[in-house]
Amino acid sequence: MLTLQTILDHIELKVLTDPVDFSEIEIHTGYTSDLLSCVMTGAQAECIWITLIANINVVAVASLLEIPAVIITENAQPDAATIARANQEGIVLLSTPVGSYQIVGRLWELGIKDTDPNK
């Protein structure tokens, strides 16, 4: 387990939503997919989700699955309504110019490997 603060300390990510206490947010595992239905099946609660999708449905899915943070890759830009909804739902949206593959690699190196669904 890592806190979101630790992730932000090691990987350069732009925080798109309102700043909160990132050291309070625990990240237990990760998931990456750009198909919402796959995320629905595959993503665990308290995971960080890496995706290219930047629309409001990302927030709906994250909220439903209790995903605390989403990294939007390749500079895809969510609109103001999406960011506002994320703030409302307490979901942190992060942005990076690099691709999902690289981000996943960096997270893995940091130690976010645990994908045991029973945890």
Partner 1 sequence: MSDQATLSDNDAGMITRVEELGYELKISQVMTTNVVTFSPDMTMLEALNLMQHHRISGAPVIMNGEVVGIISTEDLIRALRDGRIDRKVSDYMSKNLITAKATDKVVEALRIFAKKNVGRLPILDENNKLVGLLTKGDITNGLLTALQRDYQAEEVIRYRASHLFEDIESDRTSLILRYRIIKDDFLHGGAASNNIKRALLRLGADRQVARRCGIAAYEAEMNLIIHTNNGGFLRVEIEPHKITMEAYDDGPGIDDVEKALTPGFSTASEEVRNKGFGAGMGLVNIRSCVDEMTIKTSKESGTNLYMTIYLDKPKN
Question: Rounded CA gap, 1 and 114, in Å?
Answer: 8
End-to-end CA distance of the chain: 11
In three-state secondary structure terms, 92 is: strand
Q: Which residues pair with 48 in a beta bridge?
A: 30, 69
- Report the residue from 19, 37, 80, 116 that binds partner 1 according to the rule CB under 8 A: 37
Closer CB to partner 1, residue 29 or residue 51? 51
Quick check: 24 binds partner 1 (CB under 8 A)? yes
- Report the residue from 63, 84, 98, 102 that binds partner 1 according to the rule CB under 8 A: 63
Question: Rounded CA gap, 88 and 2, in Å?
Answer: 24
Could you tell me how many residues of this chain bind partner 1 (CB under 8 A)?
25
In three-state secondary structure terms, 93 is: strand
The piece of 16-24, 69-77, 93-101, 108-116 that touches partner 1 (CB under 8 A) is: 16-24
- Report the residue from 65, 72, 91, 103 that binds partner 1 according to the rule CB under 8 A: 65
**Residue 30: both structure tokens together:** 């990760």
**Which chain residues interact with partner 1 by CB under 8 A?**
21, 23-24, 34-38, 40-41, 45, 51, 53, 55-61, 63-66, 81
